């Protein structure tokens, strides 16, 4: 049996859905989280003085091993946190609890829900090579 497309005005339905998203009245600061590529990301959006939303994502990449457990892997992971090349929106950080994180930040063009979601997705997609690098070092 073939799937049937819904009847009616698809463009009208899409416009209605977009207006509902755009009309979402967010209360700032916003906090959200999601899982992507086996990594939990915690996000926060704050209002700026310019009337836009600043978004910060922190991906949890796991524990940095102690020197007695895996000295070479620890050294390589800490070198990631010290690495500052590229000038992009993402960098590695080590928390006080010895966890490696990936911190990404950006600014949405407006405070509407669609713009905030789009910026969070953009940041996560641009962080993919960083996630791959950390995963490769952790495995290795």
Looking at residue 41, its pLDDT comes to 94
How far apart CA 112 and CA 24 sit, in angstroms, is 7
Could you tell me the residue ranges of all domains in the chain?
A: 28-139
Looking at residue 45, its pLDDT comes to 93
3-class SS string, 64-75:
CCCCCCCHHHHH
Tell me if 95 sits within 8 A of 59, measured CB to CB. no
Looking at residue 1, its pLDDT comes to 46
Helix, strand, coil % (nearest 5) of the chain?
Answer: 35, 30, 35
- Per-residue confidence of the chain (140 residues) as pLDDT tens digits? 455 555 567 777 777 777 776 666 667 898 999 998 889 999 999 998 888 899 999 999 999 988 888 899 889 888 888 876 655 678 888 888 889 999 999 998 878 777 888 899 999 998 888 889 888 888 87
Looking at residue 40, its pLDDT comes to 93
> Going by CATH, does the domain composed of 28-139 fall within 3.30.1460?
yes
The alpha-carbon radius of gyration of the chain (Å, integer) is: 19
């Amino acid at each position: 049996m073939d799937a049937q497309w819904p009847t009616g005005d698809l463009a009208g339905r899409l416009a209605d859905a977009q207006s509902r998203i755009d009309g979402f009245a967010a209360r700032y600061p916003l906090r959200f989280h999601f899982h992507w590529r086996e990594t939990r990301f915690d996000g926060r959006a704050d209002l700026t003085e310019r009337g836009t939303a600043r978004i910060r994502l922190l991906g949890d990449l796991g524990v940095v091993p102690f020197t007695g457990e895996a000295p070479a892997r620890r050294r390589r992971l800490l070198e990631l946190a010290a690495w500052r090349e590229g000038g992009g929106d993402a960098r590695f950080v080590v928390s006080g609890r010895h966890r490696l994180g990936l911190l990404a930040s950006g600014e949405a063009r407006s405070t509407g829900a669609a713009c905030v979601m789009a910026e969070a997705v953009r940041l996560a997609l641009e962080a993919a090579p960083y996630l791959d690098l950390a995963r490769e070092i952790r495995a290795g």
